[in-house]
Amino acid sequence: MTAYPVPPHACDCHMHVFGDPTLYPPAAVRAYNPREMSFDLYAREAARIGFSRVVIVQPSAYGTDNRCTLDALRSRPATTRAIAVINDATPETDLAEMARLGVRGVRLNLVSNATPAPDAAIAELQSAAARVARYGWHVQIFATPSLITALAPTIRALPVPVVIDHMGLEATPALLGLLADGKIWVKLSGANRVSRQGGDFRDALPVMRALIAANPANLVWGTDWPHIGLHVPGELHDVVYMGHDHMHLLGLLAEAAGNAGTFAAILAGNAARLYGFPDVLP
């Protein structure tokens, strides 16, 4: 149980789907070998914790082959949005179809397959923003704290919103400044990734509180299901899915939020604005 009730229309803003590998083979360049974790399996867990909306994030193991993510999106279109992965070769017709289906952004994973030099990351970010601006999408970034700091001036000048994964891994001055100025959104996901002590991840609370203090209106939350374990670029081990307790993770959010209104806004209202969900489900 959490200190506050999960609000109506709560949205899990960060999770991944892995399909049958015979139908959805992984990319040639990847940091782990995925195992099937279906959308139906996730949906049972979402119902248990009281979430009715979800944003599927394309995992790095599939590269720019978004078929698994898009097929899951098609299965529950009213309550589901998605974040895709593209590159310069992705056809414009594909982007238009993704927009029709409910894709609302593209992700740059600048961690899982190695961290690029700042100049390369800036070029990749600017290219992605230029491609998706016409659709009203955002660019979602998973990056190290130092790289986020290097990207900060570029982020401020982009024509599209930017969403930072997993609390930016650290509440740096650059991250907090961008958030306070409304230049970014931040996902309060991945407490286990932010924690340095493990266990109950309570050492992530100061980071969460700092982000909430900076700008609670530009924060969303996600389970990070199915909790992909640590992986090393270039070492193709079979993935380990970690069994984190979602109610405990929600309890950390409630403790960091400090009141029911902020807790509800992060879980429902903010997500509806960012991902274009209606105020009331059909």
Q: Is residue 243 part of a domain?
A: yes
| Neighbouring residues of 271: CB distance < 8 A, sequence distance ≥ 6 | 10, 11, 13, 53, 55, 220, 221, 277
Q: Is residue 239 part of a domain?
A: yes
Give the integer Cα–Cα distance in Å for 268 and 262: 10
Q: Which helix (H) or strand (E) holds 104?
A: strand 103-109
**Number of domains observed in the structure of the chain:** 1
Residue 196 · residue 219 · CB < 8 Å:
no
CA neighbours closer than 13 Å in the CB half-sphere of residue 248: 11
pLDDT, tens digit (0-9, with 9 covering 90-100), for 210-228: 999 999 999 999 999 999 9
CATH code, 128: 3.20.20.140
- pLDDT for the residue numbered 120: 95
- What residue ranges in 110-166 does DSSP mark as E strands? 138-142, 162-164
pLDDT, tens digit (0-9, with 9 covering 90-100), for 174-200: 999 999 999 999 999 999 999 999 889
| Neighbouring residues of 74: CB distance < 8 A, sequence distance ≥ 6 | 101
Q: Is residue 115 part of a domain?
A: yes
At residue 55, the 3 state secondary structure works out as strand
- pLDDT for the residue numbered 3: 85
Say yes or no to pLDDT of 280 above 60. Answer: no
Distance of alpha carbon 90 from the chain centroid: 21
Q: Is residue 1 part of a domain?
A: no
11-15, strands of its sheet edge to edge: 11-15, 53-57, 80-84, 103-109, 138-142, 162-164, 184-187, 219-220
Q: Is residue 3 part of a domain?
A: no
The single residue of 20, 224, 238, 245 carrying the catalytic annotation is: 224
| Percentage with pLDDT > 90 across the chain | 88
203 is catalytic: no
Structural domain of residue 17, as residue ranges? 11-275
Give the integer Cα–Cα distance in Å for 53 and 45: 12
Q: Is residue 69 part of a domain?
A: yes
Q: Is residue 40 part of a domain?
A: yes
- pLDDT for the residue numbered 282: 41
Q: Is residue 282 part of a domain?
A: no
Amino acid at 46: A
Query: What would you report as the CA-atom Rg of the chain, rounded to the nearest whole angstrom?
Result: 17
- For the CA atoms of 177, 182, 183, 185, what is the dihedral angle to 10 degrees? 100
